[in-house]
Amino acid sequence: MKLMAGNSNLPLARAIAGYLEQPLTDAAVRRFADEEVFVEINENVRGEDVFVLQSTSYPCNDNLMELLICIDALRRASAKRITAVVPYFGYARQDRKPGPRTPISAKLVANLITTAGADRVLAVDLHAGQIQGFFDIPTDNLFAAPVMAADIQARYGDKPLMVVSPDVGGVVRARALAKRLDNAPLAIVDKRRDKPGQSEVMNIIGDVKGRACILIDDIIDSGGTLCNAAQALMDAGAASVTAYITHGVLSGAAVARVNSSALKELVITDSILPTEATQASDRIRIITIAPLIGEAVRRIADESSVSSLFD
């Protein structure tokens, strides 16, 4: 087995390599003067089972091209099997046509990865489960929930918990986490705009009074969804609100928004390389999913069960 990394998240790649006690493959993934991506693999990979580690996070188009070109280089170097390990799968939110004459970019990206030469894909908390079906090659979708549940038990296990989905679409994810937390109760933030032009009203389904609320979501991008939900929960009498989010996209002013929000803490994973602002925030904590990904990689290489990681 060999591990190769693009440049999107080298600390995570090194941590996965550390877990597997494997060095990263000697390769140069660099730019020509005009920013074209160039990849050169400096060791033999003929007949090898190769895992390419690359999140397609900001700058998402550059990181996607790096992934595709790494896969192409490996295929032309006669690797036996190539697995694209994409902890954060960008473009995932474009998974359906929201209106006429719009793309389904998640499907296009799946096609690009397959056409480049990937034999398998390994991702974490895909925005929508059906993205697995966009690939006609085996695709494993890992869940960060066990890592989050362990952290929640350690930090908040002695408090009366309430798991909260920040929108109706996230209920399945929230329910799965609640089950791992000894069947903690579940609440839902129901955002409604009764008439166009009216501001959104946040209704809380469930009694959160006095509860330590755990908001769970797959992505925090601008932070709007989460910070508004946190405020609505505090207004409804929650004792505290902590958010656990797999992918800390945190674009633009998101970190500043989190820093001045009603959130006690935002916990994200290291699926995306944190910016300096994220690292500097005393409201944001990062937990690692390197052992989770490393173990899944080991099991794929050994042809053993990946799903039993979540039993």
Tokens read off for 259: 């820093």
Cβ atoms of 53 and 71 within 8 Å: the answer is: no
Is 302 annotated as a binding-site member? no
Only one of the segments 42-50, 147-155, 216-224, 289-297 lies at the binding site for ligand R5P (rule: CB under 6 A); that segment is 216-224
d(CA 77, CA 91): 28
Nearer to ligand R5P, 6 or 166 (CB): 166
**In residues, how long is the chain?**
311
> What φ, ψ does residue 133 adopt, rounded to 5°?
-75, -10
Does 275 help bind ligand R5P (rule: CB under 6 A)? no
When binding is defined by CB under 6 A, the residue of 68, 220, 243, 284 that contacts ligand R5P is 220
Those residues with Cβ within 8 angstroms of residue 204's Cβ, 6 or more apart along the chain or in another chain: 187, 188, 189, 190, 232, 233, 236
107, 159, 179, 191: which is the annotated catalytic residue?
A: 191
Does 221 help bind ligand R5P (rule: CB under 6 A)? yes
Q: What angle do CA 101, 105, 106 make, to 5 degrees?
A: 140
CA distances from 88 to 51, 73, 133, 222, 246 (A): 15, 22, 17, 16, 9
Q: What dihedral angle (degrees, nearest 10) is formed by the CA atoms of 282, 283, 284, 285?
A: 70
Does 129 help bind ligand R5P (rule: CB under 6 A)? no
Determine how many CB atoms are found less than 10 A away from the CB of residue 214: 27
Cβ atoms of 230 and 236 within 8 Å: the answer is: no
Does 222 help bind ligand R5P (rule: CB under 6 A)? yes
Does 248 help bind ligand R5P (rule: CB under 6 A)? no
Is 307 annotated as a binding-site member? no
Closest separation in Å from C-beta 191 to ligand R5P: 10
Instruction: Output DSSP code: residue 253.
Output: T
| Contact code string over 160-199 relative to ligand R5P, x by CB under 6 A | ------x--xx-----------------------------
Closest separation in Å from C-beta 222 to ligand R5P: 3
Is 223 annotated as a binding-site member? yes
Q: Which secondary structure element, helix H or strand E, spans residue 279, and what is its range?
A: helix 276-280
Only one of the segments 26-34, 46-54, 222-230, 271-279 lies at the binding site for ligand R5P (rule: CB under 6 A); that segment is 222-230
> Active site includes 191?
yes
Nearer to ligand R5P, 105 or 153 (CB): 105
Binding site, annotated residues for D-ribose 5-phosphate:
193, 217, 221-225
Binding site, annotated residues for ATP:
34-36, 93-94
Binding site for ligand R5P (CB under 6 A): 166, 169-170, 217-226
